[in-house]
């Protein structure tokens, strides 16, 4: 819409010839479809974006086997929903079979199965990372405060793809929530370099592809590494 275009224009204000050369225009609007989270994460893994180890299951029995294979604690998600947290379709940090089965029994039935994942335990901060086609400007890259309080903070910075590690780190440092990444009240600093690498890899993979929009929220940033634990991906529906 107009607001999004103005945001992208502000990001690209007073471009240099070099900047103009590397930010090519993108195709106009096309029919799209939402990619299943498990499939989206497979695609992310293939381009070097870290995601949790996970197994798609269709029953409680399969979920128990998958959990033993991955090792507790695990995270359980009902597939087929775009906004799982609001629907009660996510349970994190399930420590045993009893907790797993109780979580599955309480979840909405979608008919699309479930995703059992290893729970990420090295967490210093949560970050939002998104890349979106924004015709005719280019590909808009967004980084910001992530997690369930993303909308509450409204703390984001925008760049145009392709991006460099230095550009991403600079954008993260401009966030109001940047102190959480540096190490707040005695907590260790987050691995910002890993976040920058993730953003660069994601942007490079999206530019020129069939991906229309991808949002990773949250990316859990630890003392070593950054892992995309949730992925919402929209692609062209040809």
Average pLDDT estimate for 98-125: 96
Residue 148 lies in a domain: yes
Number of domains in the chain: 2
Contact partners, residue 65, CB within 8 Å, separation at least 6 = 57
Same domain, 139 and 225: yes
Dump pLDDT digits (tens) for 184-230: 888 899 999 999 999 999 999 999 999 999 999 999 999 999 999 99
Mean per-residue pLDDT over the chain, rounded: 90
Check whether residue 71 and residue 148 sit in a common domain: no
- pLDDT over 80 at 3, yes or no: no
Tell me what percent of the residues of the chain surpass a pLDDT of 70. Answer: 88
Using the 3D structure, point to which of 118, 138, 154 is the last residue of a domain: 118
- What are 124-173's pLDDT values in tens digits? 999 999 999 998 889 999 999 999 888 888 999 999 999 999 999 999 99
Residues 143 and 194 in one domain: yes
Structural domain for 159, as ranges? 2-35+122-236
Q: Are residues 219 and 161 in the same domain?
A: yes
């Amino acid at each position: 819409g107009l607001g999004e275009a103005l945001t992208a224009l502000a990001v690209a204000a007073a471009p240099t010839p070099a900047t103009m050369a590397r930010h090519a225009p993108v195709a106009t609007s096309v029919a799209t479809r939402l990619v299943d989270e498990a499939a989206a994460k497979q695609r992310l893994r293939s381009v070097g974006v870290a995601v949790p180890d996970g197994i798609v299951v269709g029953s409680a029995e399969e979920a128990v086997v998958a959990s033993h294979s991955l090792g507790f604690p695990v995270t359980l998600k009902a597939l087929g929903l775009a906004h799982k947290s609001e629907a009660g379709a996510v349970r994190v940090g399930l420590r045993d079979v009893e907790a797993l089965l109780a979580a599955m029994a309480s979840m909405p039935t979608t008919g699309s199965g479930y995703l059992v994942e290893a729970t990420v335990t090295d967490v210093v901060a949560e970050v939002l990372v998104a890349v979106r086609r924004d015709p005719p400007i280019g590909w808009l890259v967004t980084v910001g405060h992530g997690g369930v309080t993303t909308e509450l903070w409204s703390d984001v910075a925008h760049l145009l793809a392709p991006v460099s590690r230095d550009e991403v780190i600079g954008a993260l440092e401009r966030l109001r929530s940047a102190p959480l990444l540096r190490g707040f009240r005695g907590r260790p600093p987050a691995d910002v370099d890993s976040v920058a690498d993730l953003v660069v890899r994601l942007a490079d993979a999206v530019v020129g592809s069939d991906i229309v929009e991808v949002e990773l929220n949250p990316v859990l940033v630890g003392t070593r590494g950054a892992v995309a634990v949730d992925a919402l991906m929209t692609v062209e529906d040809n």
